[in-house]
Structures are given as structure tokens and as C-alpha cells.
Amino acid sequence: HEPLRDAAERQGITLGFALTPGHLNDPGYRAIAEREFNLVVAENAMKWDATEPSQGSYSWGQADQVADFAAAQDADLYGHTLVWHSQLPGWAEGITDPTRLRDAMYDHIDAVAGRYAGDVDSWDVVNEMWEQDGSRRQSVFQRVLGDGYIADALTRARQAAPDADLCLNDYSTDGINAKSTAMYDLVADLLADGVPIDCVGFQSHLIVGQVPSTYQQNLQRFADLGVDVRITELDVRMNVPASTTDLAQQARDYRAVVEACLAVDRCTGVTVWGIDDGHSWVPDVFGGQGAALPWDAQYRAKPAYTAIAEAL
Ligand code: XIL
């Protein structure tokens, strides 16, 4: 097959992957990273704990490596993420005074979005703000600042990076359900209030055979609101060792996701959350599961890779 990025470009979308720069020392990983993708997102390097481990003191080494790799590849750079309850340093997690927390959030946005202004094409400004039932997640930001923190973060990000598209991102919002409807209602409210919001990300950490039946319809309803949509963290996990049957189903699942994006005008593309099964967050977090990515741990293309190539 031709490089996936060439096929994606012809379709008018970007095909992305989550990069951990240290893995580039592995020639097999690097070869796929350089050949297949026209969008790069940092798997961890632009998160709060990586960029501002203690208040007001920033560390850019890994994040710059991701930005430099994207530039060298002539790939888009996707920013992940400015405001999130997880991988948040203890000093921020512990702030109880609203003025101090808002200032810390603004300083963080100014520094990180400001540093990559003009380089990052889109930012996940706020990540994972919802509970499954569609109520707000009780993060430190929600508890101390209240509902308005999302609008405040978006407004601040627009000032810090005027050329970046500004997104909200979450998981289990992939089909139509209480959680995605909460996101939908929020986006409608933000647009009505004139708050800057350009895009919504659907992580799509899926289980084999469980692409929601309303997947495309869900993307479409957000697009119809007037925002771009993107599949931001795709992987399809299964019990390991993987069976041939599950790997074949996984290929159909990858295909269904790419086809859903292609069918929705405002879907900007698909990002896979890694490259190969040897470097995936899945086994660390979901016991007994893995094999979630398009390449295996020996960098051999799996049926899922072929399915992506054929869908594009
Ligand atoms: C994960 C990374 O892949 C891991 O390396 C890290 O240890 C934890 O975070 N939702 C997100 C991503 O928005 O940032 C997470 O990435 C996966 C779930």
C-alpha cells in the first residue's frame, strides 16, 4: 500500500498518531511514524505534569521533540491537552482558592498554548469533563471554579493561540448516549454564548466488535451544530493473546470508524493512539487486554492496517 497519509490527504482528512518521542530510537517505530501519518499528537509530552511540573517552572524538552518531529514530517501538530483532571501535578490539584486556581489555569494556558502558537493547529483545551451519566466530572476545576471553567479556558486559549482551533475531547461519547448528549448541549450553549469553540474530539477507545451503531449519526449531529469533529485517540482492544477472529473483527471496526469520518463532511480525520501493540497504554490500564493498534509488537501490519488503507 501507498503511505496512509497520501491516501488520507486525497480524502481531505489527516491521519494522526500519538507520539512518545523516546520510541523514535526504535527504528521499526520510527519508520512507520515517518511514513504513514500527516498529523502528530503528543501521547504525554504536552500534558500539565510534563510541561509545568512545579508552578511557574516549565519543561519543554519532550514537547518540543514532538513539535519538531511534526514540523520535520510536514505534518499537522495537534495539542493535547491544556486542562484535564489527570496527569495534573499535585500542586495544582491541591489549590482550593478559586482566584489562585483560575490564575494557575490561565498561566498554564498562556505558557503552553503560547509557546506553540502558530505551530499547534488544534488544541484539546479541556479533556474528559463528563461522567458517564452526563453530569460534570468533579475535577478540581469543576469543584473550585464551577461550570464556567470550560468557557473561561476556551476564551483564554483563543487569546493565547489565536490561530489554533479549540476543541473539547472525551471518551465514551462516541455514540449517542447521556454523556455525548451532555457534550452536545454544552457545545450548543457555548456557540450561543459566543464562546470560542471550533471542534469536538471523540477519543474512541473501543472494544472489539463494539463500534456504537450510532457512531456516524453522533459525529453528524455535532457537525450540524457548526463545529468540526475528529476521532482523536482510536484504538480497539481485545483479550490477549488475540484470536484470528478478533483481529478480523478489529479490522472491520477500524474500517467502520474511518468510513464514518469520511461520511461526515466536517470530520477532519482520525488519530490512532499509538502505532504498535508493543507500545500501547491498553495493557497497562485494562488487565488482560491489548492488541489494540494497527501494527503488532514486531511492527508487522495487522488486518486493521489493511482495513484503514482500504477505507481511505
Ligand atoms: C494515556 C497515555 O497513553 C499513557 O501513556 C499515560 O500513562 C496515561 O494517558 N485519554 C486521554 C489520553 O486523553 O491522554 C490518555 O493517554 C488515554 C486516555
Q: Which of 12, 92, 19, 11 is nearest to 52 (CA)?
A: 92
- Which ligand 1 atom is at minimum distance from the Cα of 171? 10
C-alpha cell of 23?
A: 520510541
C-alpha cell of 114?
A: 503560547
The Cα 123–Cα 165 span in angstroms is 6
Report strand pairing: 289-290 vs 165-170.
unpaired
Q: What is the 44 CA–ligand 1 centroid distance (Å)?
A: 7
Q: What is the 170 CA–ligand 1 centroid distance (Å)?
A: 12
Choosing among 3.30.450.90, 3.20.20.80, 3.30.70.920, 2.40.50.140, the CATH entry for 4-311 is 3.20.20.80
Instruction: Give the model confidence (pLDDT) of 176-200 as tens digits.
Output: 999 999 999 999 999 999 999 999 9
pLDDT band, very low/low/confident/very high, at 282 (cuts 50, 70, 90): very high
Ligand 1 neighbourhood includes 127 CB (under 6 angstroms): yes
Q: What is the pLDDT of residue 111?
A: 99
The Cα 162–Cα 231 span in angstroms is 23
- Report ipTM for this prediction: 0.99
Q: What is the 282 CA–ligand 1 centroid distance (Å)?
A: 9
* pLDDT over 90, % of the chain: 100
The Cα 248–Cα 303 span in angstroms is 6
Ligand 1 neighbourhood includes 281 CB (under 6 angstroms): yes
Residue 128 annotated as catalytic:
no
Minimum CA distance residue for ligand 1 atom 15: 43
For residues 140-155, give the mean pLDDT: 99
| Residue the block writes with cell 498554548 | 113
- Residue 263 sits at the vertex; the CA angle it makes with 294 and 186, to the nearest 5 degrees, is 95
- 77 contacts 121 by C-beta, under 8 angstroms: yes
Minimum CA distance residue for ligand 1 atom 1: 281
For residues 292-298, give the mean pLDDT: 98
User: Please, which residues have CB within 8 angstroms of residue 274's CB and are 6 or more apart in sequence?
Assistant: 17, 18, 43, 235, 280, 281, 292, 293
Bridge partner residues of 127 (DSSP): 169
Q: What is the pLDDT of residue 168?
A: 99
pLDDT band, very low/low/confident/very high, at 148 (cuts 50, 70, 90): very high
For residues 5-27, give the mean pLDDT: 98
Q: What is the 280 CA–ligand 1 centroid distance (Å)?
A: 9
Which residue among the candidates 36, 43, 128, 233 is catalytic per the annotation?
233
- Residue 37 sits at the vertex; the CA angle it makes with 196 and 170, to the nearest 5 degrees, is 40
Ligand 1 neighbourhood includes 203 CB (under 6 angstroms): yes
- Residue 12 sits at the vertex; the CA angle it makes with 10 and 16, to the nearest 5 degrees, is 95
Instruction: Give the model confidence (pLDDT) of 207-219 as tens digits.
Output: 999 999 999 999 9
For residues 31-49, give the mean pLDDT: 98
**pLDDT averaged over every residue in the chain:** 98
For residues 77-88, give the mean pLDDT: 98
- With the most atoms of ligand 1 within 8 angstroms of its CB, the residue from 85, 86, 126 to mutate is 86
C-alpha cell of 68?
A: 519538531
C-alpha cell of 282?
A: 491498553
